[in-house]
Amino acid sequence: MGVAPMTRLLPGITDVAAQAGVSTATVDRVLNRRAGVRQATVQRVLKAAAELNYLPEADLYAMLAPAPTRVTFLLPRDTSGFINMLGDMVGYSQGQWAPYNVKCRTEWVDSFNPEALAQALLRHGKRSDGLVMMALEDPAVREAVATLAERGVPVLTVISDIAHSQRAAYIGLDNRAAGRTAGYLIGRFIGAREGKVALIAGSLRYAAHHEREAGFLQVMQEMFPNLTVVGLREGHDDSAKNYRQTRALMDQYRDLAGLYNIGGAADGVARALSERGRDQPVVFVGHGLTPDTRAMLIDGSMDAVITQSPQATLMSCVRIFANLRDKRDLLSGVEVTRSQVIFRDNLP
């Protein structure tokens, strides 16, 4: 009677542990990419797995590759269309970040709430390698950034910066220059006639909105003595509030000639202006090219939009985190954020 050939058993986790001189628990941690194992031990386990053909070659290469840098974008919920577009773009642009080995995701936080932002920074900082936020000027936010810096978790600011903080970098427009640009456009559009000019901000808790206001006022004082600025109102990037603010301004100032919307929710402003139509023509300039503001430029309810590229903003953030990880110069390969002025006739 013949003897059946012996079947060679495939190596198991105990064989890998024995070959590497570690416990099976350590092998399990390494192969499942859990933290808490020294890099030298990781390399020993992977070498043993390769020698025993425990894993396919492709899987081993994947195991040897460094884990992606995890970046969380903390953006204000239900604010401007541009911010919403930026947050959505983080989700569907993952393929673009692959060469940089950076993985991004968006978390939405309560708008205009510094305590909520500070808590979100500390909470997400525990499971992220880096954070990006649209900053609110507040001591609680500044302290949260300092705490994360001590832990080695860098924080970038986009759109709006925070002064005297330990954030790693700011990616965004020169907002004072953006405000000056808006003032120049409105003044030139109005021409020599006299009239009133108003501003609507989202919130002056954003340094960006305060800086845009300052730049706007400077240019008005320097270049357009025929125009009187009648102050700033906050609309909290809410369409209904912006509508009411605009209606109130037009009721109060029958010679209102220009309006600068510093933040979002331009549709509320445009609706109020359109209702008055030719009876009270007002030059309208705002920020952020989105499907909504694009439509307003086309139908003539908006005269100009000052914007920046959301794709370039995201790419700059990704490059900075890759530079930090690889110990390169912080701004290596990072382009300066450029503003664009979009009119009806040069829509991209």
Same structural domain, 17 and 131: no
Same structural domain, 81 and 94: yes
Tokens 């965004």 correspond to what residue?
172
Q: Answer yes or no: is pLDDT of 252 > 70.
A: yes
Which stretches within the chain are classed as H helix? 13-20, 24-31, 39-51, 57-64, 81-92, 94-97, 114-125, 139-150, 175-190, 207-223, 239-252, 266-276, 291-299, 310-325
Residue 181 token pair = 């640009």
Averaged over 39-64, what is the pLDDT?
78
Task: Tell me if 73 is assigned to some domain.
Answer: yes
Are the beta carbons of 244 and 271 closer than 8 angstroms? Answer: no
Task: Tell me if 29 is assigned to some domain.
Answer: yes
Same structural domain, 220 and 317: no
Count up the domains in the chain and report the number.
Answer: 3
* DSSP secondary structure of 260-327: EE-SS-HHHHHHHHHHHGGGS--EEEEE---HHHHHHHHHTS--EEEE--HHHHHHHHHHHHHHHHTT
Portion of the chain with pLDDT greater than 70, in percent: 95
pTM, two decimals, is 0.83
Residue 164: half-sphere exposure toward Cβ, Cα within 13 Å:
5
Same structural domain, 161 and 183: no
Task: Tell me if 58 is assigned to some domain.
Answer: yes
pLDDT tens by residue, 83-142: 999 999 998 888 888 889 999 999 999 999 999 999 999 999 999 999 999 999 999 999
Same structural domain, 314 and 212: no
Averaged over 195-201, what is the pLDDT?
97
Portion of the chain with pLDDT greater than 90, in percent: 75
Q: Answer yes or no: is pLDDT of 2 > 80.
A: no
Same structural domain, 127 and 44: no
Task: Tell me if 1 is assigned to some domain.
Answer: no
Burial 280-295 (b: 16+ CB within 10 A, else e): eebbbbbbbbbebbbe
Tokens 């386990």 correspond to what residue?
45
Least confident residue range of 48-57, 71-80, 89-98, 196-205? 48-57
- Give pLDDT, residue 42: 83
User: What's the mean pLDDT when you consider all of the chain?
Assistant: 91
Q: Which helix (H) or strand (E) holds 258?
A: strand 256-261
Position 196: which residue type? K
Same structural domain, 212 and 296: yes
DSSP strand pairing (340-342 vs 304-307): antiparallel
**Residue 281, domain CATH:** 3.40.50.2300
Task: Tell me if 347 is assigned to some domain.
Answer: no
Query: Which of these, 20, 44, 15, 42, lies nearest to 31 by C-alpha position?
Result: 42
Q: Answer yes or no: is pLDDT of 1 > 50.
A: no
Task: Tell me if 4 is assigned to some domain.
Answer: no
Same structural domain, 188 and 259: yes
Q: Answer yes or no: is pLDDT of 147 > 50.
A: yes
Same structural domain, 166 and 180: no
Same structural domain, 213 and 298: yes
- Give pLDDT, residue 3: 52
**Residue 23, domain CATH:** 1.10.260
Same structural domain, 161 and 103: yes
Task: Tell me if 252 is assigned to some domain.
Answer: yes
Task: Tell me if 224 is assigned to some domain.
Answer: yes
Averaged over 185-211, what is the pLDDT?
95
Sequence-distant (≥ 6) Cβ neighbours of residue 220 within 8 angstroms:
183, 187, 197, 227, 229
pLDDT tens by residue, 262-312: 999 999 999 999 987 767 789 999 999 999 999 999 999 999 999 999 999
At 52, the pLDDT band (50, 70, 90 cuts) reads confident
- Tell which of 45, 64, 83 closes a domain: 64
Same structural domain, 143 and 198: no
Q: Where in the sequence is the domain holding 60, given as residue range(s)?
A: 13-64
Residue 43: half-sphere exposure toward Cβ, Cα within 13 Å:
4
